[in-house]
Chains A and B, each alone.
Chain A
Amino acid sequence: MGKHARGRSSRKHPLWKAIIIQALLLAGALLVISPFLWTITTSLKPIKSTFEPPYLLPVHFVWQNYVDAWQAAPFPQYYLNTVIVTLAIMVGQILTSAMSGYAFSRLSFPGRDALFLVFLGTMMVPFYVLVIPLFLLVDRIGWVDTYWGLIIPRIVSPFGIFLMRQSFLSIPKELDEAALIDGCSKMGILWRIIMPLAKPAISTLSIFAFLFAWNDYLWPMIATRSPEMYTVQIGLRTFMGKYGTQWVLLMAGVATSTIPVLILFFAAQSQVVEGIATSGLKG
Chain B
Amino acid sequence: MQAKSYWSKSGYRKDDIRAAFICLAPVILIFAAFYMLPMIYSAVLSLAEWGMGSMTGFVGFSNYLAMFKDPYFWNSLQVTLVYTLGVTVLSLPLGLLVALGLNVKIPLSNLWRSLYFTPSVTATVAAGIVWTRLFDPYDGLVNHLLRVVGIRGPAWLSSPEWALVAVILVGAWKRLGFNAMIYLAGLQGVPGELYEAALVDGANAWQRFAHITCPLLLPTTWLLLIMCVIDSFQVFDLVHVMTSGGPMSSTEVMGLYLYRQAFGLFHMGYASAIAWVIFLLVFIATLVQWKVSGSGGAGAYGEAR
Residues of A within 8 A of B (CB): 1-9, 12-13, 18, 21-22, 24-26, 28-29, 32-36, 38-39, 42, 50-51, 53-54, 96, 99-100, 102-103, 105-110, 112-113, 115, 119, 122, 124-137, 152-153, 155-156, 161, 163, 166, 169, 173, 185-187, 190, 204, 211, 214-215, 217-218, 222, 232-233, 236-237, 240, 247, 250-251, 254, 257-258, 261-262, 265-266, 269, 276
Contacts and interface: CB of A to CB of B under 8 A. Distances in A.
A132 B105 contact: no
Contacts of A217: 123-125, 236-237, 240
19 contacts: A1-B191, A21-B106, A29-B112, A35-B134, A36-B122, A36-B130, A39-B130, A54-B141, A107-B16, A107-B17, A132-B268, A136-B41, A137-B37, A163-B305, A185-B15, A217-B125, A218-B259, A233-B123, A276-B185
Interface stretch (B82-90, B154-162, B277-285): B277-285
A126 B275 contact: yes
Given A1-B188, A215-B123, A132 B26 contact: no
B241 A24 contact: no
Given A108-B7, A163-B305, A25 B101 contact: yes
Interface stretch (B27-35, B69-77, B214-222): B27-35
A32 B173 contact: yes
Given A103-B20, A266-B114, 20 more contacts: A1-B188, A2-B105, A2-B188, A4-B191, A28-B101, A35-B127, A36-B130, A38-B130, A42-B133, A99-B26, A102-B23, A122-B39, A129-B38, A129-B272, A131-B262, A169-B2, A211-B121, A217-B236, A237-B241, A257-B125
Interface string B161-172: 000000000000
Contact of A32 (B139, B176, B240): B176
A5 B176 contact: no
Interface residues of B, number: 100
Q: In the A-B complex, list the 5 residue pairs whose CB atoms are closest, starting with the nearest.
A: A4-B192, A186-B19, A133-B41, A133-B38, A99-B23
Interface string B192-206: 110100000000010
